[in-house]
Amino acid sequence: MTIKSPMLSRPGAVEAGGADTGVASHYGEPLREQRALAAGSAVVDLSCRGVVTVTGPDRLSWLNTLSSQQMTDLVPGQSTELLFLSVQGRIEFDARVVDDGGTTWLIVEAAEAAPLAGWLTRMKFMLRVEVADASATWAVLGSTQRVPEWADLLVWEDPWPHIGAGGYSYSVVGEESHPGLERPWFEYLVPAAELEATVGDRPLAGVWAAEALRIAAWRPRWGAETDDKTIPHELDLLRTAVHLSKGCYKGQETVARVHNLGHPPRRLVFLQLDGSQHTMPAAGSEVRAGSRKVGTVTSVAQHYEMGPVALAVIKRSVDPEEALTVVDGDEPYTAAQEIIVAPDAGQVVGRQTGFLRGPR
């Protein structure tokens, strides 16, 4: 079910499509909105998000057994991220998580909410937990800063790009120089009926602005950077969403095997696109090295400082120095790659040299 945000009635609002259907892509001035969002003076309507709630005294220990994240010691107000994986270690669901002491809130993409709630309900067995898809009654607002006037609202703070407890970085840059540090990110849970009153006269930015900042921060998104074969290692999600030393969960064997002994078959890269053509390729466009297809563009945006930028998932074997071309139909775009996930990621047992540093 697509939920139409009341903020679409604001002057200049142009509805987004795809995963963000139901909210505004922009309000008439995309780059100005992006600058305001980056500066913290604007907020973005994310009513397109799904919200799943888990209540009951067994909720955290139960989620701990099902997910990639250590949940048993999560304290009220603390934010984290978790993955639900297949037996083969592939990402099935990715959730932003915050607990208020009585309810665990899972903020997900719209397409995840109903399937995730259904799957969790089937996994309850005799445990004291209740699961609900609360997407129709709760909305989400995003900001790059904490909003003092919203101090009473429950807020999820993105752990990216910090390396969480039990996590591991597959990036070639240190945590202190990661571009994600330039994009603090907060998602506020707001009763849907109070969305307009909560926003008030605060400046709004569209989701195009949020996407551009996300791409520049190298932050993967479920449904964009993921497909039915994605494993967490390929997107550097061991950093924030996986606890490597917690107890058993579905998919753990693959996570451990690739991390310790193997290499992920693909890797996430950031692409700086040639901006001289006044157009941008669409997500899904081919990435080529010479005449050979080596990957796919997953997200693309016009950044207010860098121009056209993209994320792409490419084969691990692609030379980091190789010039790439993005091809959309018959239109080629020169692309300079920046490494996000190192080509030699994984195989940490016995590691001495290579792109990656040792474990944190």
Cα(72)–Cα(340) distance, rounded to whole angstroms? 30
Cα(95)–Cα(82) distance, rounded to whole angstroms? 5
Hey, where are the domains in the chain?
6-234, 265-339
Q: Which two tokens stand for residue 100?
A: 């208020």
Q: Which two tokens stand for residue 177?
A: 């120089």
Please give the pLDDT value at position 1.
64
Residue 248: other Cβ atoms inside 10 A: 7
Please give the pLDDT value at position 354.
54
For residue 187, say whether it is annotated as part of any ligand binding site.
yes
Superfamily of domain 6-234, CATH level 4:
Probable tRNA modification gtpase trme; domain 1 (3.30.1360.120)
Please give the pLDDT value at position 359.
41
Please give the pLDDT value at position 351.
64
pLDDT in tens, 260-305: 999 999 999 999 999 888 899 999 999 999 999 999 999 999 999 9
pLDDT in tens, 163-202: 999 999 999 999 999 999 999 999 999 999 999 999 999 9
Please give the pLDDT value at position 355.
54
**Radius of gyration, CA atoms only, the chain:** 20
Q: How far is CA 176 from CA 15, 172, 230, in A?
A: 37, 12, 27
In order, the DSSP letters of 330-342 are TEEEEEEEEESS-
The residue to which tokens 């991220």 are assigned: 81
Q: Which strands form 91-99's sheet, in the order they lie side by side?
A: 79-85, 91-99, 103-108, 50-55, 130-133
Strand partners, 272: 309, 336
- Domain spanning 265-339, CATH architecture: Beta Barrel (2.40)
Backbone phi, psi, residue 216, to 5°: -65, -25
> Tens-digit pLDDT profile for the chain (360 aa)?
678 999 999 999 999 999 999 999 999 999 999 999 999 999 999 999 999 999 999 999 999 999 999 999 999 999 999 999 999 999 999 999 999 999 999 999 999 999 999 999 999 988 999 999 999 999 999 999 999 999 999 999 999 999 999 999 999 999 999 999 999 999 999 999 999 999 999 999 999 999 999 999 999 999 999 999 999 999 999 999 999 999 899 999 999 999 999 999 999 999 999 988 889 999 999 999 999 999 999 999 999 999 999 999 999 999 999 989 999 999 999 999 999 999 999 999 866 555 554 444
The model carries a pTM of 0.96
